[in-house]
Amino acid sequence: MARPIWPNNARPRPQNQKICLHLPLNFTILRRNTIRFVVVLATLSIVGIVTVQVYWVSNAYNLEEKELNQGIYIALQRVAEQIAAYNKSTLPTEQVVNQVSSGYFIVNVNNVIDVSLLEHYLRREFASRNIALDFEYGIYNCSTDKMVYGSYVGKDGRNTVPMAYSELPKYDKFIYYFGVQFPTKASYLVANLGIWIFSSIILLVVIGFFGYALFVILAQKRLAEIQKDFIDNMTHEFQTPIATIAISAEVLLRPDIAQHPERLSNYANIVRNESQRLKNQVERVLQMSRFEQVKPELLLERVDLHETIKEAVQIFALKLQNDKNNKKEPVIQADLQADFHQITADKVHLVNIIFNLLDNAVKYADQTPHITIRTSNEPKRVLLTIEDNGIGIPPEFRHRIFDKFFRVPTGNLHAVKGFGLGLNYVKSMAKAHGWKLQVEAADGKGSVFSILMRLADA
pLDDT at 277: 67
d(CA 281, CA 285): 7
74 within some domain: yes
In a shared domain, residues 364 and 234: no
Would strands 301-304 and 135-141 be described as parallel, antiparallel, or unpaired?
Answer: unpaired
- Torsion (CA) 9, 11, 13, 14 in degrees, nearest 10: 180
- Tell me if 294 is assigned to some domain: no
> Could you list the residue range(s) of the whole structural domain that residue 69 is in?
1-255
Adjacent-strand bridge partners of 443? none
Residue 223: inside a domain: yes
Residue 281 lies inside a defined structural domain of this protein: no
Where residue 396 sits, what CATH number does that domain have?
Answer: 3.30.565.10
Last residue of a domain, one of 231, 255, 279: 255
Check whether residue 210 and residue 359 sit in a common domain.
no
> Do 171 and 45 share a domain, yes or no?
yes
DSSP 3-state of 126: helix
**pTM above the 0.75 mark?**
no
Q: For the chain, how many structural domains are there in total?
A: 2
144: left (phi over 0), alpha (psi -120 to 50) or beta: alpha
Residues 208 and 334 in one domain: no
- One digit per residue, the tens of pLDDT, for the chain of length 458 reads 333 333 333 334 333 333 333 444 444 555 667 777 877 888 888 888 888 888 998 999 899 999 999 999 999 999 999 999 998 888 888 889 999 888 899 999 888 888 888 989 999 999 898 888 889 998 988 888 888 888 888 877 676 665 555 678 888 888 889 999 998 898 888 888 888 888 888 888 988 888 888 888 777 877 776 676 666 666 656 766 787 788 888 888 888 887 888 888 888 887 887 787 677 667 666 665 665 555 667 889 999 999 999 988 888 887 777 665 566 778 888 899 999 999 999 888 898 889 888 888 888 777 888 899 999 999 999 999 999 888 777 777 776 677 766 666 554 444 555 556 678 888 888 888 999 998 887 666 788 899 999 998 86
- How far apart are alpha carbons 330 and 360 in whole angstroms? 12
Q: Is residue 273 included in any domain, yes or no?
A: no
Sort 242 into a burial class: Cβ within 10 Å, 0-12 / 13-18 / 19+: middle
Name the CA dihedral angle for 280, 282, 285, 288, rounded to a multiple of 10 degrees.
-60
In terms of DSSP bridges, do strands 104-108 and 381-387 run parallel, antiparallel, or are they unpaired? unpaired
Under DSSP, the state recorded for 158 is: -
pLDDT score, position 122: 92
Residue 410 included in any domain: yes
End residue of a domain, out of 221, 255, 289: 255
- Residues 79 and 8 placed together within one structural domain of the fold: yes
What is the pLDDT, as a whole number, of residue 204?
87
The verdict on residue 338 lying in a domain is yes
Decide which of 221, 238, 255 is a domain's last residue.
Answer: 255
Q: How far apart are CA 262 and CA 257, in angstroms?
A: 9
Asked if residue 306 and residue 251 are part of one domain, the reply reads no
The pLDDT, as a whole number, for residue 451 is: 93
